[in-house]
Amino acid sequence: MSGNLLEVTDLRVTFDVHGRRVTPVDGVSLTLERGEALGIAGESGSGKSLSLKSIIGLLPPNATVGGDLRFALDQESPIPYAPADVHGHGISIIFQEPMTALNPTMRVGDLIAEGPKLHKGMGKKEAEERAIELMRLVGIPTPERRARMWPHQLSGGLRQRVMIATALSVEPQLLLCDEPTTALDVSIQDQILGLLQELRTRLNMAIIFVSHDLAVLGEICDRLAIMYAGRIVETGPVDEVFADPQHPYTEALMTSVPSFGATTDMLIGIEGRPPDPRDFPPGCRFAPRCDYAQEDCTAADHHLASVAPGRTTACIHPELIEGLGQ
């Protein structure tokens, strides 16, 4: 069975802040095939994490979500769903901070056993065995002993593995990853990425991986979406985007990462600050910080245009981008 698993159209997240409407996610559309890994990259405040959370309905109560969400759980093709419908059914999430994401007053084995108890109709004993099995699957040594432990007794890496086991306990077809490696040591980061990669192929599970770290995304994702100021500005296969960015922001993002700075040893930051969601600039929102900005940029409508098979950009002057290494 192939085809789309998730279709998000014109997603909008609005907050009412003291009577003012703020829209940190402003018209995000994306599709995901079964088993595919999509990366969403962007600075903090770009709306990437909020987009992820609105897919699984974990936004704070003062947020309003607009747009069309469709998910194919047992069906051939995606059907509309209410966010709470996918809790425990088809979509799971893992968070950035394994420290705070685990219930401190619940033994980790009990936490992992919640899913099987609730959704697989398993009894206590059976669910506990399943939890140990899941802990083994995510590479936790001596799971029988560790299942009886409290979260605070585990290291950061192990806690993140427990989080992954908890997410897997409901047998998701889509795993949302909200910067799950950011809070970990680099060596642990690699282990967790490796684990996610392995689980993905083994369970044929789709992944949406949100991060500001392009290197991490390059390692795990098939496709990349670059977000800026609440909108997706470029999409395409990871290698192609890295090799030949079609949006100035993508290029700027890459030159600000050490390993991508091709010609010089200098790190080039992006001038200016990410815009405030309360006051987005008109037209292309990157224009005020863009080296290539033209006069018509500040009047440009946001539209993702196809520039090559599987590749889109919101830039209206992609031909101006010099590219890396020139």
Q: Which two tokens stand for residue 185?
A: 């040591």
Nearer to other proteins, 105 or 326 (CB): 105
Min dist CB 58 to other proteins, Å, is 5
* 164 counts as binding other proteins under rule CB under 8 A: no
Quickly count: other Cβ atoms within 10 Å of residue 224's Cβ: 25
Binding flag, residue 152, other proteins (CB under 8 A) = yes
Position of tokens 């949406």?
208
Closer to other proteins at the Cβ: 88 or 281?
88
105 makes contact with other proteins (CB under 8 A): yes
Query: How far apart (Å, rounded) are the C-alpha atoms in residues 231 and 86?
Result: 24
Q: Which of 5, 30, 41, 101 binds other proteins (CB under 8 A)?
A: 101
What is the rounded distance in angstroms from the CA atom of residue 33 to the CA atom of residue 221? 13
Residue 203 CB contacts under 8 Å (≥ 6 apart), including other chains: 168
* H runs (alpha helix) in 47-171: 48-55, 98-101, 108-119, 124-137, 143-146, 156-168
Helices 156-168 and 108-119 pack at an angle, to 10 degrees, of: 10
Sole residue written with tokens 């590479």: 139
Please say which residue, 74 or 319, places its beta carbon nearer to other proteins: 74
* Phi, psi (rounded to 5 degrees) for 249: -65, -40
Tell me, residue by residue from 17 to 56, as one string, x for binding to other proteins by CB under 8 A and - for no binding. Answer: ---------------------------------------x
For other proteins, which residue of 14, 33, 66, 114 counts as binding (CB under 8 A)?
A: 114
Intra-chain end-to-end CA distance of the chain, in Å: 43
**Polymer length in residues for the chain:** 326
Site size toward other proteins, by CB under 8 A: 32
- From 29-37, 81-89, 258-266, 313-321, give the range in contact with other proteins by CB under 8 A: 81-89
Beta carbons of 98 and 165 less than 8 angstroms apart = no
Quick one: which segment of 36-44, 161-169, 195-203, 254-262 binds other proteins (CB under 8 A)?
Answer: 161-169
Closest by Cα among 200, 192, 205 to 159 = 192
302 binds other proteins (CB under 8 A): no
Out of 15, 71, 81, 95, which residue is the one contacting other proteins (CB under 8 A)? 95
> Which span (58-66, 181-189, 216-224, 259-267) binds other proteins, by CB under 8 A?
58-66
Rule CB under 8 A: say whether 118 interacts with other proteins.
yes
Query: Which residues of the chain form contacts with other proteins (CB under 8 A)?
Result: 56, 58, 60-61, 84, 87-89, 91-93, 95, 97, 100-106, 111, 114-115, 118-119, 150, 152, 163, 166-167, 169-170
